[in-house]
Amino acid sequence: MSKPKVLVADPIAQKGIDELANGGSLDVTVKIGLKPDELLAIIGEFNALVVRSETKANAKVIEAATNLKVIGRAGVGVDNVDVDAATKRGIIVMNTPGGNTISTAEHAFSLMVSTARNIPQADASVKSGKWDRKTFVGVELYNKTLAILGMGRIGTEIARRAIAFGMRVLAYDPYLSASRARSLQVELVESLDLIIPQADFITLHMPLTAETKYMLNAERLAKTKKGVRIVNCARGGLIDEAALVEALKSKQVAAAALDVFEAEPLPAESPLRGLPNLILTPHLGASTAEAQEGVGIEVAEQIRAALLSGEIRNAVNMPSIDAKTLAVVGPHIALGEKLGHFLSQIAAKRVESLNINYSGKINEADTTPVTRSILASFLRAAGGPEVNVVNCLSFAENLGIKLTESRESSQSDFAELIELTATGENGWVSVAGTFFGTTPRIVKVNGRHVEAKPEGVLFLFENRDRPGVVGHVGTLLGKHKVNIAGMSLSRNEEGGEALTLLNLDSVPSEAIIKELTAGGDIHSVQVVQL
């Protein structure tokens, strides 16, 4: 079997590349600086793509990436990846949150100090031959008010450092709980309009979303304290650059420092380049030896785990499955796949809802990966092999199938049970499975107790409970050389309706089924192949 192929398209630490190549189980190609059409031309060959913020994995690239399973971002922001397009195509997108937090916080903090003390401008002045001590008089951070917009990993580290510098720290983050803010010793401010006028320094640490785009626009900049200093080490587009240029010119904003820009690389003709009170760095927040080694190794480990063992860590478009969880729920994932596949074959078309009930011991584990596997295998009848654990939720949503989970433990006969019920306009069907020791078994179909191995050919029918039916089936299948490997019968009452489930060694033909049902005692015949 050929090795999974990985393309590293942005510069990551050598140790990360070594980790990808470790053991020789992956075929690793490093091609930095590919032009968009060059990437488009080769991406189809690869199973994994590693990027930082430069390579654009846009919808076109994802469409061309016919063999891609995973995109690994050595860093935090995935705005250069079309995550929705990847999800639809079933491609996992992973990042390495946390690996560059300290480096970015230190960079943002350094920029804040630089805006207070004009360090880069003073350095340039001395180097140009001058000795100007008047122009570069600064301000202290001590006793000043800092507004942190976005109080996640980096914002938190900034707060710690600012408190150590004797600053009063305010935070604006609509998703931060009051108790967390208290434990971080910051004052939580309810709205942007309340925090902005109080701040001597503002630093931004949030993702760029539709909600955060141009968070600092002309109107908000006009509401700042005259002489405020602003740092953006998060994402270009959080500040309206044109409005910032005007505010820096009018000195409403005394100084600012930007590490990130609306367009990167920053165009040569950008008006930002000509302002003496603006400090610019070329997206260097994460550019330290420590951060790059950390995120490079981490992304490599995550990609190896995803491609070689199915372990999912730090995916932004599906829940993580760590090795410990995988060890516990691995057998349930395999059983769930069989049950989902079984149910898809006995259910009528136009299913409206799928319920998965977990009862017993399984509830001690995280059932999310089991649910995903069940749903993906159930939907594969409709969507083919394209449907997988990443895109199954959006696939179900597009079909209008409502997925629900329940945890009722009324089935006390089994230590644990996974029961799936598909409901549509034609009624419902169900299947349930468990383990006998470590062996998986189907133990219920349509609410009736049966017992069958979830493998190979399963033959399911309903029949009138009367003497001779079983013999008739055995004789007929035997006559046509179809061997019965296992048989399970279930009836509601003596002489009533029975349900029979057989494990067969081969698929019975249409002609056999016709012969079997001819007498009228046997009906609702279904052949399921697992």
Ligand X SMILES: O=C(O)[C@H](O)COP(=O)(O)O
- Cα within 13 Å of Cα(335), Cβ side: 28
Query: Toward ligand NAD, which CB reaches closer, 11 or 447?
Result: 11
Please select the residue that binds ligand NAD; options are 4, 16, 90, 152, rule is CB under 6 A.
152
**Does 55 participate in binding ligand X (rule CB under 6 A)?**
no
Q: Which residue out of 220, 229, 235, 304 is catalytically annotated?
A: 235
Catalytic pick from 264, 290, 293, 405? 264
The reply to whether 75 sits near ligand X by the rule CB under 6 A is yes
264 is catalytic: yes
Instruction: Yes or no: say if 215 and 204 are a contact pair by the CB < 8 Å rule.
Output: yes
478, with CB counted inside 10 A (0-12, 13-18, 19+), is exposed
Of 285-293, 307-315, 346-354, 404-412, which part binds ligand X (CB under 6 A)?
285-293
151 interacts with, out of ligand NAD, ligand X, none, CB within 5 to 8 A per kind:
ligand NAD
Residue keyed to tokens 């953006």: 232
Residue pair 461/453 in contact by the 8 Å Cβ criterion: no
> Does position 296 bind ligand X by CB under 6 A?
no
Smallest distance from the beta carbon of 185 to ligand NAD, in angstroms? 16
C-alpha distance across the termini of the chain, in Å: 24
281 binding ligand X? (CB under 6 A): no
> Which lies closer to ligand NAD via its Cβ, residue 125 or residue 281?
281
> Minimum CB separation from ligand X for residue 162, in Å?
21
CA distances from 249 to 121, 242, 271 (A): 16, 11, 11
Nearer to ligand NAD, 76 or 429 (CB): 76
Closer residue to ligand X (CB): 77 or 150: 77
Using the rule CB under 6 A, give the single segment among 199-207, 379-387, 483-491, 512-520 that binds ligand NAD: 199-207
Q: Does 265 bind ligand NAD (CB under 6 A)?
A: no
Look up residue 372 and give its two tokens. 């995903």
Cα 85 to Cα 60: distance, rounded to the nearest angstrom: 9
Cβ atoms of 299 and 92 within 8 Å: the answer is no
Could you give the CA distance from residue 332 to residue 420 in angstroms, rounded to a whole number?
A: 13
CB of 210 to ligand X, least distance (A): 18
With binding defined as CB under 6 A, does residue 100 bind ligand X? Answer: yes
User: Is 133 among the catalytic positions?
Assistant: no
Binding to ligand NAD by residue 154, rule CB under 6 A? yes
DSSP secondary structure letters along 403-452: EEEE-----TTSSEEEEEEEEETTEEEEEEEEEETTEEEEEEETTEEEEE
Compute the Cα dihedral for 373, 377, 380, 382 and give only its sign.
Answer: negative
Nearer to ligand NAD, 142 or 175 (CB): 175
Tell me which residues are annotated as active site. 235, 264, 283
